Amino acid sequence: MADDTPGSPRGHRLRIRILLGKGAPFGPGKADLLEAVRETGSIAAAGRRLGMSYQRAHDLVSAMNSHFHEPVVAPAKGGSRGGGSHLTPFGEEVLAAYRRIEALAEIAAAEPLRWLETRLAPAP
């Protein structure tokens, strides 16, 4: 969720990190990586888009693939572009579930966040 969340007077940010099991966290960085893989068709390009090395992006994808009962990202078949990667149908479901959790949390937290924001000291 961006800093300029609609309806927020000061632009709060709610970041949800889920601990799905021992050693299986899932949060905004992994969700953004999945979206970038979907949009670019490549782990390397997704990593570049997000400002991370290929190795970091690859390691995160490998971790996600090992944490679930089926892969979230799979290699694409060759062809003129020479391969790449794509979100699997299960990866699409994982991403959608996480984004739904974010949306529900934003709704649930709206009132207490507004209360906190009204009690912040004025910006210098």
Which string of DSSP letters, residue by residue, matches 41-83?
S-HHHHHHHTT--HHHHHHHHHHHHHHSSS-SEEEPP-TTTT-
Average pLDDT across the chain, whole number: 87
Tell me the whole-structure pTM to 2 decimals.
0.82
Residue ranges of the chain whose pLDDT lies below 50 = 1-10
Q: What dotted CATH number matches 25-111?
A: 1.10.10.10
Note the pLDDT of residue 14: 86
- Element counts in the chain: helices (H) and strands (E): 4, 4
